Structure 1
């Protein structure tokens, strides 16, 4: 994650901690006030709702944290194999470095390397002709030895 995304995420976490603290304080204050003002014959059964500013702060902090995480993610990779392989061939390791300068563990190098280093196709007709010549010359040599 870059320093911008870390800063935004940290700010969101601080706001969320403040919203949680405010919610606990508000609930504690409501509980304290309700026990002193409510008569024992009519207990308060409805839960106290949070004020609008605490709810909005909680929502804003969660959105800020989500935005910070989204800023810190690496760019999405292509789904199609040919596009991904072309990216590797054109840019190499530079296309797979993260914000910290490290190469991603998904980088495997040239995906067509195996295809480029494999032996060519086998020519069966040429091999059959070579074998026939070998057999023919081999018999001639055997007949000469006898």
Structure 2
């Protein structure tokens, strides 16, 4: 995470903590004022008033959640390609430099050349070439000399 995303996330968390504290204070204030009104002799009829959260606390909560989400999105690393051939092409073009994070370290899932297995395997057998070499060997008498030795 960069310092910008960390600071935006921290600011959003600060706003969210303030909104939670304001909601707690509002509910505590409302419960004590309702209890004092119902206990007085002048108000014998208990009225059930539904008190909702004030609009400024609701807006502050929404802005805080949006700010935290924005800070977290700003801090995410760049997404990798979904298609394997695109990802492998990026590795071949850029090498380790394309997979370094913000701190300058190579990502842990960097494996190097993805075609390493394909490039290290033996090639296909060329039957025509082997037939030609065998025919030349027979013409030179390679098979007969071997039989006379044994």
- TM bucket (normalised to shorter chain) is 0.7 to 0.9
Equivalenced residue count is 143
Distance 1:40 1:95, change over 3 A: farther
Report what 2:29 is aligned to: 29
Report what 2:146 is aligned to: 141
Report what 2:70 is aligned to: 67
Report what 1:114 is aligned to: 117
1:63-142 equivalence runs, <5 A: 63-127=66-130, 133=137, 137-142=142-147
For residues 146 and 26 of structure 2, the distance between their equivalents in structure 1, rounded to whole angstroms, comes to 107
Q: Which runs of 5 or more residues in structure 2 are unaligned?
A: none
- 1:80-108 Cα shifts (integer Å, max 9, x gaps): 22211111111111211111222112211
Q: Which runs of 5 or more residues in structure 1 are unaligned?
A: none
Specify which of 50, 57, 60 is matched with residue 57 of structure 1.
60
For residues 102 and 36 of structure 2, the distance between their equivalents in structure 1, rounded to whole angstroms, comes to 57
For residues 43 and 130 of structure 1, the distance between their equivalents in structure 2, rounded to whole angstroms, comes to 107
Q: How much is the aligned-residue C-alpha RMSD, in angstroms? A: 2.2
Q: Normalization by structure 1: what TM-score?
A: 0.85
Displacement over 4 Å in runs of 4+: 128-134
Distance 1:11 1:118, change over 3 A: same
For residues 129 and 14 of structure 1, the distance between their equivalents in structure 2, rounded to whole angstroms, comes to 81
Distance 1:35 1:129, change over 3 A: same
